[in-house]
Copies of this chain bind each other. A is one copy, B any other.
Amino acid sequence: MKATIYDVAREAGVSIAAVSQVMNGKGKISEERRAEILKTMERLNYQPSVIASALTGKKTFTLGLLVPDISNPFFAEIARAVEDQGHHLGYSLVICSTDNKDERVERYLNLLQQKSIDGMIIGTGMDNKEMLTPLMKQGIPIAMIAREMPDIGVHTVVVDDCVGGALAAKHLLDLGHTRIAILAEHAKVISSRERVRGFRNTLEEAGVVLPDSGVRNCHYTVEDGKRQAIALLEESAGVRPTALFCCNDMLAIGALQAAKQLGLKVPEQLSVIGFDNTILASVTDPPLTTVAQPIEPMGKKVVDLLIQELKKESKLKQRVVLRPELMIRQSTASPGDMH
């Protein structure tokens, strides 16, 4: 026989109103009690009609997540973290890959709005912020992860990119590098710009000058990282850099491949440092020194913020900046004397 809300209330030893509050994500219920009620629902296999709730203006317990590409390890790891915390709180996740194209972003935003998602997490770039207006007008909470749109007032969870850049620079300076170049992402990507800024500032404070020609903008692919690294290393043959700072792990892998093609040993003749610390960083040879984004805490935090807003627990928009950490592996070392 199908369990009813009455069965759940009786079994959990709470009122029907309390069960209903848990289902609707409203009311003030302690996390403990909420978990207890959810567990009872699960044990009794209680299935409220989510669809019926949605039609009466209640919640669908579904969140949307826009990322550039779910098959990119960084975003796959973000998605897993968001999914886990979402499920933990009773929400499931619709994932859409935008390829960073505005027309795809717009199409998916419309689509998800039609599906009456309860909240939207955005981890993709978009040129036209107006696309978010319909969602905001409808009162659907929005939060951004690993991306920022400073002009609009939404929750944002990012890593401190500037500090991350500084950590990378400090590591290379400590090793004794002074001839350094950068593989950056497209200039419109704020996170990449901030990483470069933090990196540059730290070098300048140490009296090391980084010429503009030493910063190359790349597409977000291993292939382009390789191509640009080869260009950088060949062009500057006379005073070749002894270290490359790459604004993500994909580009760093491209740099490793470039070094191999040019017959340069890493780290003896070229140090390479990445950013993100995805699974890729641990499988390269040599394993990649990189600036680690705290991907799991970021995913957890963005879901928590969104659901707080959903539950109207707080109207305050937050910008949460988590601190990155340097992960030293084997792709960096003191510059050799073979120039």
Contact = CB atoms under 8 A, between A and B. Distances in A.
A84 interface: yes
Given A71-B80, A113-B47, A283 B222 contact: yes
Nearest to A86: B96
A46 to B, nearest CB: 9
A283 B62 CA distance: 35
A51 B92 contact: no
Tell me if A's interface is mostly helix, strand, loop or mixed. Answer: helix
A110 B47 contact: yes
Given A47-B114, A93-B94, A71 B284 contact: no
Contacts of A145: none
Contacts of A232: none
Interface of A: 42, 45, 47-52, 54-55, 60-62, 69-73, 76-77, 79-80, 83-84, 87, 92-97, 107-108, 110-116, 222, 253, 256, 260, 279-280, 282-285
12 contacts: A48-B114, A50-B114, A70-B70, A70-B83, A70-B95, A71-B77, A73-B279, A80-B97, A83-B96, A92-B115, A93-B95, A94-B95
Given A50-B115, A51-B51, A285-B285, 11 more contacts: A42-B107, A48-B114, A51-B116, A62-B94, A70-B79, A71-B73, A71-B76, A71-B80, A94-B94, A256-B285, A260-B285
